[in-house]
Amino acid sequence: MQEHRILVVGSSNTDMVIKTEHLPRPGETVLGGTFFMNPGGKGANQAVAISRLGGKVSFVCKTGSDIFGHQSQQLFEEEGIDTSYIFSDPNHPSGVALITVDAHAENCIVVASGANANLLPSDLAQAIEAIDEADLILMQLEIPMETVEYVAEIAYRKNKKVILNPAPACPLPSSLLQHLYMITPNETEAEMISGIKITDEISAGEAAKRISDMGVQCVIITLGSKGALVYQDSVVDIIPALKVNAVDTTAAGDIFNGALTVALSEGRDLPDAVRFACKASAISVTRVGAQSSAPYRNEVDIFG
């Protein structure tokens, strides 16, 4: 089996998590929570997931020149990620996320982007070699849109496959969509991109078709506990989720995207790759934390 190299361009945060009975309403203080501090950030979560699942991965991000940044670099190296293109920013702190998780595993998150917001095209110009070496490039939207567009355009010109996880939700330039091989929105993000309200599998399929018509070759809409919708070559396929007892959904989408990219790098067809990703994501929601919830390859292979 030939493995292709993966490049992740994205964010690195430190997650400060409080588990509590219910999410606070505006002005409400909720006592009795349990505190955890975990490494996070969508880009970092995806890079760690890829490495744990056996993918060869390089990571481009920017951290602050502070304790969180130093800890992140060390953790990435321990996870087996190529850290050659991690930039240190002397002027901005490392990104942090404040996360509250309730008794039903729902969460709300506030992010202070810090150095992530200063990962600029000029930085990526110093990491062209990483783009050259990669076959698949995975990005998210916790870094500046201009940087995402810059990488997508260069990668497209070099015939690389660019996968965008369009989270957090925001409007996307049409030129960016035309440079993507695949996009992996959840229902909210798919509604924003397509303009179609998703209420069931039929409307989800219509949204996927409209996004594909904008220039993206493959569209995968994640449907939470219902699984994922795959749209390719005008065909809709629903891949069901596996039933598990969820305790924390914080990084489920990131684990899904990392696992999907690994499976594609191994040459699996799209439905099979999505099944693999659904397995990895299902395991992750049974665990607390972001990167700490990412499963290892042997766990996914024997699951379900």
User: Binding residue per annotation — 56?
Assistant: no
Is 254 annotated as a binding-site member?
yes
What are 240-243's contacts with CB under 8 Å, separation 24+? 240/278, 241/278, 241/281, 241/282, 242/278, 242/279, 242/282, 242/303, 242/304
Amino acid making up residue 72: S
Active-site residue, 254 included: yes
- The β-bridge partners of 236 are 231
Alpha-carbon gap, residue 72 to 83, rounded angstroms? 10
Residue 186 in marked binding region: yes
**95 known member of a binding site:** no
Question: Does 233 show up as a binding residue in the annotation?
Answer: no
Cα-based angle 102, 117, 149 (whole degrees, multiple of 5)? 105
248 labelled as ligand-binding?
A: yes
The helix (H) or strand (E) run that includes residue 34 is strand 34-40
Distance separating alpha carbons of residues 145 and 79, to the nearest angstrom: 28
Asked whether residue 250 is marked as a ligand-binding residue, the answer is: yes
200 marked ligand binding residue: no
Given a contact cutoff of 8 angstroms between Cβ atoms, the answer to whether 68 and 14 are in contact is: yes
Residue type for position 94: S
CA Rg value for the chain? 18
Is 223 marked as a binding-site residue?
Answer: yes
Question: Cβ distance 138 to 7 under 8 Å?
Answer: yes
DSSP string, 174-189: HHHHTT-SEE--BHHH
> Is 15 assigned to a binding site?
yes
44 appears as a binding residue in the annotation: yes
Question: Do 281 and 252 contact (CB within 8 A), yes or no?
Answer: yes
The reply, when asked if residue 147 is annotated as ligand binding, is no
d(CA 11, CA 43): 5
Determine if residue 289 is labeled as part of a ligand binding site.
yes
Which of 254, 269, 272, 301 is catalytic? The answer is: 254
Is-contact 264 272, C-beta < 8 A? Answer: no
Residue matched to tokens 């996968």: 163
Q: Is 298 annotated in some ligand binding site?
A: no
Confirm whether residue 116 is marked as ligand binding: no
Task: Say whether 284 counts as a known binding-site residue.
Answer: yes
Nearest to 228, CA basis, from 236, 220, 218, 216: 220
227 annotated as belonging to a binding site for a ligand? yes
Residue numbering of the annotated binding site for ATP: 186, 222-227, 253-254
Residue numbering of the annotated binding site: 13-15, 41-45, 142, 186, 222-227, 248, 250, 253-254, 284, 287, 289, 293
Residue numbering of the annotated binding site for K(+): 248, 250, 284, 287, 289, 293
Residue numbering of the annotated binding site for substrate: 13-15, 41-45, 142, 254
Which residues have a catalytic role annotated?
254
